[in-house]
Amino acid sequence: MAEFVTLEVDGGIGTIRLARPPMNAIDKQVQAEIKAAAEEAATRTDVHSVIVYGGQKVFAAGADVKEFARTSHAEMLEHAWPLSQALGSVADIPKPTVAAITGYALGGGFELALGCDRRIVGDNAKLGQPEILLGVIPGGGGTQRLARLVGPAKAKDLVYTGRFVTAQEALAIGMVDEVVAPDDVYSAAQRWAGQFVNGPVVAYAAAKRAIDEGLDGDLVSGLKLESDLFAALFATEDRAIGMQSFIENGPGKAKFSGK
């Protein structure tokens, strides 16, 4: 039974909830529990979309610095890649995902949010990658996912300075996608995630793979991947259901089977 990270499922929406007071600091145990929750969400057929949430006051203020301070170079050589895999495990969920961010999302906390497809934040949120202030760099995907999200110049500014970014600036530069009142963060995430509960599950997974993996290579390779995934969907029940429904009833009325 996980101590700090749980997967709660309600109405087809899975919520990966962090609860390690007071700031949801991410130590090795939390990393392992995040990875386990993400893997469970990925495989459960009753989970159609996923919210990552740290509670009403804070998302996650970063790594457990006290644990890092005790970690030797030799130990980190062994742990750095598992750390990256744990914080990036949400990105491997083949379903729509959204980070619901209140308060601080810093360092490893923001790296966890970067693995989601969408980020919704409270207007009081503070975001950033302040690892440079500790004499290190982001090690859980921050240099890579942030640069892909906002571009290399903005990512370098944020990583070099380690400064905290307000919700409004984060929205302006593309770090986040929606800003709401702090009390409305989770409900806004539910509304977004709820759009996909009765949708074509296999097609969502294909779309996510095409976009994410396509960005890792050149355009021609991405187009070939897209073509292969597109063709494969013609073997699904949902393709037949969706097209027949469109012919008979118009767009947006299909009742998909998820197969």
Which residues are known to be catalytic?
111, 131
How far is 93 from 41, CA to CA, in rounded Å?
7
In which residue are the tokens 């459960």 written? 44
Give all strands of the β-sheet with 5-10 in edge-to-edge order.
5-10, 13-18, 49-53, 97-101, 118-122, 178-180
Q: Which long-range contacts (CB under 8 A, 24 or more apart) does 212-218 make?
A: 212/91, 215/148
Please give the DSSP secondary-structure letter assigned to residue 57. Answer: S
